[in-house]
Amino acid sequence: MLQGWDNFYYLIGSAAAGLIGLLFVVMTLTAGRDRSRIVRAAGIYMTPTIVTFGVVLAISAIAMAPGLPLVPRGVAFGLFALSGLAASARGFVGIARLRKEPQPPHWSDHWCYGVAPVVMYLGLTAVIAATFWGHSSWAPFALGGLLLSLLLLGIRNAWDLVTWMTPGPAGATDATNASGPNPPA
């Protein structure tokens, strides 16, 4: 069912793996920041972003695994999609709670870290079911499109995190930033 997709999965899987590594490097940029804020933001913003890259990487690796029967492949895809959904839903709830803070997150955080990933993971779960249990001819294209969309959204969110986490000019205080990656407008 996924014959001929090897280069695609190799490309997006490699990109996801490299971006996971870069996010770990970015975490070193948080030195000198308020530790409690960083830990809270990491749970709400960083974890779902890393999970997104991990899901793209894992599904790509499983798609390229030679000789893996169709049903175990579909079950593994589904488990990874559900783990991404759980991480995104947790982030969505965390951002909703932050909206009550004196410095709420930027409006785009709700959409880019919450709504869009949840919708994409729900779609991914449906496409996986259509691919492996319905044997739909369009499903591999939808699966590839959703994985690429997740990768691109993860890149957008990682860029947002990096620009929030990088230290400001010397002498700048942490109070100048909002409670999440985007400062309020």
> Tell me, what's the pLDDT at 185?
39
Q: What average pLDDT does range 133-162 have in this prediction? A: 89
Q: Is 50 exceeded by the pLDDT of residue 38?
A: yes
Look at residue 146 and tell me if it is in a domain: yes
Q: Is 70 exceeded by the pLDDT of residue 175?
A: no
Question: How far apart are the C-alpha atoms of 94 and 179, rounded to whole Å?
Answer: 11
Instruction: Please indicate, yes or no, whether the overall pTM of this predicted structure exceeds 0.75.
Output: yes
> Tell me, what's the pLDDT at 146?
94
Q: What is the mean pLDDT of the chain?
A: 83
Question: How far apart are the C-alpha atoms of 147 and 54, rounded to whole Å?
Answer: 11
Domains contained in the chain, number: 1
Please give the residue that has the higher pLDDT: either 167 or 137. Answer: 137
One-letter amino acid for residue 105 of the chain: P
One-letter amino acid for residue 51 of the chain: V
Look at residue 175 and tell me if it is in a domain: no
Look at residue 81 and tell me if it is in a domain: yes
Question: How far apart are the C-alpha atoms of 86 and 74, rounded to whole Å?
Answer: 18
Please give the residue that has the higher pLDDT: either 53 or 169. Answer: 53
* E strands, 40-138, in order: none
Question: How far apart are the C-alpha atoms of 48 and 184, rounded to whole Å?
Answer: 21
Q: Which of 144, 145, 154 shows the shortest CA–CA distance to 84?
A: 154
Look at residue 139 and tell me if it is in a domain: yes
Look at residue 171 and tell me if it is in a domain: no
Q: Which of 86-95, 98-107, 152-161 has the lowest mean pLDDT?
A: 98-107
Look at residue 99 and tell me if it is in a domain: yes
Per-residue tokens: 177: 């930033």
Structural domain for 77, as ranges: 6-165
